[in-house]
Amino acid sequence: MDGRLVRWFLWVLLFLGLLLVVGFFSLSVGSTGFSMREIFLSLSMEGSVAHSIVFQLRLPRILLGFAVGGALSLAGVILQGLFRNPLVEPYTLGISGGAALGVSLGMVLRLHRVLGLFFLPLSGFLGAVVVIVMVYSLSTKRGVLRIQGLLLTGVMVSFISSSLIMLIMAISRVEDLHSIIFWIMGFLGETDWWMVEVMGAVALAGLVLSYFFALDLNALALGEEQARYLGVEVERSKKLLFLLASVLTGLCVSSAGIIGFVGLVVPHFVRILVGQDHRILLVASFLCGAGFLVLCDTLARTVIAP
């Protein structure tokens, strides 16, 4: 077997192992601590307090964190490869601002009375979709997606969304203002199993789809002209990669709020460890981002435990 493949396999095993360690650590710590033995015993103690805490409160939160962290890291790798700029992150294109604006409007208009449980993710995703369509339309000219135009348009839309959110916060009721601020900070706590299932399926589908473009991303890192010489359909790849990263970001923001560090920090860290090849970088970043977000969330909820 090729030595490079062996190294990649070992890296994947390492990140998978760390992911499991973080998951069990997050299950066991909190205002009520559990040992590994107590966690496994709670499997057969349905209806008990331990079972409720582990499987109704902590496990959905952990799984959602895995999905959101992995998807955001994946989107970060895709966009950094697409723009050939290590400072680009999923929120650079204004998608998070659009989702936050959609949620803010939904809270002020009290749409939860109509949409119920689906209110937050649906309003956030619709806001993200509007921004995706707007940025894509303004950045495409004669069928060509202009990368620099995409970046500038995204930054412009992001500032406009932020200004509108501040205006909404200034004129909203006190209870709505509290909800908007709390959501914008990013939160994994209000989690339902249907949201976990949707985000888990989306994150895994995003990983599989992005892997088909790993070689295209490797070629695009050399420049668009060089990628064309290597046989890459540059415009098709750029558009599909942009849409994939945008949808992943929009769904993450609509389900967990704005979590702005994972998509920028994790790809950098993983790139130092495994190298520039997107065939390993995509998978490793997904696993590392999933564990990183859950670890940060666990520390955040236990530093000042109730």
pLDDT reported for residue 306: 56
pLDDT reported for residue 222: 87
Residue 33 reports pLDDT greater than 90: no
Kindly indicate the confidence band of residue 304, based on its pLDDT and cuts at 50, 70 and 90: low
Tokens for 121, please give them: 């993710």
Residue 118 reports pLDDT greater than 80: no
pLDDT reported for residue 184: 80
DSSP per position, 40-73: HHGGG-TTSHHHHIIIIIIHHHHHHHHHHHHHHH
Minimum mean pLDDT among 103-112, 209-218, 269-278: which range?
Answer: 103-112
Q: What is the mean pLDDT of residues 118-142?
A: 83
Q: What is the pLDDT of residues 232-284, one digit of tens each?
A: 888 899 989 989 998 898 888 888 888 878 888 999 999 999 989 999 999 99
Please say whether the dihedral angle defined by the alpha carbons of residues 136, 141, 145 and 150, taken in this order, is positive or negative.
negative
Q: What is the mean pLDDT of residues 11-35?
A: 89
Kindly indicate the confidence band of residue 66, based on its pLDDT and cuts at 50, 70 and 90: very high
Kindly indicate the confidence band of residue 208, based on its pLDDT and cuts at 50, 70 and 90: very high
pLDDT reported for residue 76: 93
Minimum mean pLDDT among 52-56, 63-67, 281-285: which range?
Answer: 52-56
pLDDT reported for residue 95: 84
Residue 65 reports pLDDT greater than 90: yes
Spatial contact of 92 and 151, defined as CB atoms under 8 Å apart: yes
Spatial contact of 64 and 199, defined as CB atoms under 8 Å apart: yes
- Give 274 or 141, the one with higher predicted confidence: 274
Please say whether the dihedral angle defined by the alpha carbons of residues 298, 299, 300 and 304, taken in this order, is positive or negative.
positive
Q: Name the range with the highest mean pLDDT among 1-5, 121-125, 292-296.
A: 292-296
Domains of the chain plus CATH, in order, are 3-303 (1.10.3470.10)
Kindly indicate the confidence band of residue 112, based on its pLDDT and cuts at 50, 70 and 90: low
Q: Is pTM, for the whole model, over 0.75?
A: yes
Kindly indicate the confidence band of residue 48, based on its pLDDT and cuts at 50, 70 and 90: confident
What percent of the chain clears pLDDT 70, i.e. is strictly above it?
96
pLDDT reported for residue 114: 66
Instruction: Compute the distance between CA of residue 294 and CA of residue 66 in angstroms, rounded to an integer.
Output: 6
Angle between helices 3-28 and 262-274 (to 10 degrees): 140
Instruction: Compute the distance between CA of residue 182 and CA of residue 171 in angstroms, rounded to an integer.
Output: 17
Bridge partners of 141, per DSSP, are 144
Give the chain's mean pLDDT.
Answer: 86
Q: Name the range with the highest mean pLDDT among 27-36, 204-213, 233-242.
A: 204-213
pLDDT reported for residue 85: 84
pLDDT reported for residue 305: 60
